[in-house]
């Protein structure tokens, strides 16, 4: 691909300009992400990861092979991406104006939530959170949230419903980003693990992840926590940390973000070089970016995680994409 490196250099130089920010009809801010190229995935060896994540078992590092091979991807069209994750206030506005009922309420099984009793009493291999339980939903994740915190406990179907409603309301296409679009936006011209560098020890300055603020609630995992304390044991207001080079906030941490793709472990070996859309079918959907409860190894831009599309979790939210006319 002789066109590869020249366009890659162009993509890496673009984020230095001030981001073009627009506001939609319900007050959501979007940043224009230019077309370009980037290296998707990772080529880090287990040995190189062990050097910076020595507390993790080799088995966990071996499981990251679905990020390989590192490969060149072209994003052929500019797009607008939510400057922040969708907030509770924005999601509630969607519900009030559309009449949509979130899946956790509609199926009466509820979501997940933080519970002191659950964490103290659960077996070692049980889920870290209580649920499914009708006591938990996007409104009640088991910890206090303000309107400017990211909405959580939403399913992939809930996210798609909000995108469809906005599309019909405004006459333009809203959707979830693809894995490729999401990772391109996260890396923002960099080739580092995180949008702001490689060193996980500095992350408390840049992202809301699992750190000393959260360890009192999960003593069993304190050896996995970042040493700093960002003051947020759970979610934080969106845009509380510095943006990446594209002007996007919380691309890592705060809430996991649904993307549109089905998941396949070996998809990168055969994926198209231009605008990959993910496998044609599958039972699982991809989520990206980590959350307030995420260990640093899982907050890298290249990390891929998965859930069933009807999953609702106290860590899991969304960021919407708005298509730009050619």
pLDDT in tens, 275-306: 999 999 999 999 999 999 999 999 999 999 99
Given this model, what pLDDT does residue 240 score?
98
pTM to 2 decimals? 0.93
Closest CA to 12 of 189, 194, 192: 189
Given this model, what pLDDT does residue 220 score?
81
pLDDT band at 6 (very low <50, low <70, confident <90, very high): very low
DSSP one-letter string for 252-299 = SSSSEEEEEEE--TTGGGT--SBS----S--S-EEEES--TT--GGGG
- The first and second tokens of residue 61, run together, are 């590092």
Least confident window among 19-23, 115-119, 246-250? 115-119
Given this model, what pLDDT does residue 8 score?
46
Q: Mean pLDDT in the chain?
A: 92
Q: Which residue has the higher pLDDT, 4 or 256?
A: 256
- The first and second tokens of residue 112, run together, are 């997940």
Cα distances (angstroms) measured from residue 69 to each of 6, 194, 273, 280: 21, 18, 13, 20
pLDDT band at 125 (very low <50, low <70, confident <90, very high): low
Q: Which residue has the higher pLDDT, 277 or 56?
A: 277
- The runs of H, that is alpha helices, within 178-227 are 179-187
- The first and second tokens of residue 40, run together, are 């998707």
DSSP one-letter string for 169-180 = HHSS-EEPPPHH
High-pLDDT (> 70) share of the chain, %? 94
In terms of Cβ atoms closer than 10 Å to its own Cβ (0-12, 13-18, 19+), residue 2 is: exposed
Given this model, what pLDDT does residue 15 score?
59
């Amino acid at each position: 691909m002789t066109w590869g490196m020249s366009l890659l250099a162009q993509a890496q130089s673009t984020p230095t300009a001030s981001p073009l920010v627009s506001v939609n009809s319900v007050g959501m801010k979007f940043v224009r992400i230019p077309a370009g190229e980037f290296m998707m995935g990772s080529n880090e060896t287990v040995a190189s990861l062990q050097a910076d994540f020595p507390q993790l078992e080799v088995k966990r590092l071996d499981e990251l092979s679905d990020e390989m091979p590192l490969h060149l991807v072209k994003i052929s069209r500019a797009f607008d991406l939510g400057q922040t994750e969708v907030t509770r206030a924005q999601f509630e506005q969607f519900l009030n104006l559309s009449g949509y009922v979130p899946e956790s309420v509609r199926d009466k099984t509820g979501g997940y939530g933080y519970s002191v009793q659950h964490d103290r009493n659960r077996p070692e291999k049980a889920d870290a959170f209580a649920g499914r339980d009708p006591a938990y939903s996007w409104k009640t994740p088991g910890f206090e949230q303000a309107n400017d915190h990211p909405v959580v406990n939403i399913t992939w179907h809930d996210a798609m419903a909000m995108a469809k409603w906005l599309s019909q309301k405004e006459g333009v296409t809203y959707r979830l980003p693809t894995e490729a679009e999401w990772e391109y936006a996260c890396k923002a011209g960099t080739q580092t693990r995180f949008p702001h560098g490689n060193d996980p020890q500095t992350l408390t300055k840049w992202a809301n992840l699992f750190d000393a603020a959260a360890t009192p609630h999960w003593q069993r995992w304190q050896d996995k926590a970042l040493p700093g304390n960002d003051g947020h044991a759970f979610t934080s207001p969106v845009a509380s940390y510095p943006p990446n080079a594209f002007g996007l906030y919380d691309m890592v941490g705060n809430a996991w973000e649904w993307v549109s793709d089905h998941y396949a472990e070996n998809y990168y070996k055969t994926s198209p070089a231009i605008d990959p859309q993910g496998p044609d079918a599958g039972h699982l959907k991809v989520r990206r970016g980590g959350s307030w409860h995420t260990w640093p190894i899982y907050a890298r831009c290249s990390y891929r995680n998965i859930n069933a599309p009807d999953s609702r979790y106290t860590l899991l939210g969304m960021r919407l994409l708005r298509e730009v006319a050619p």
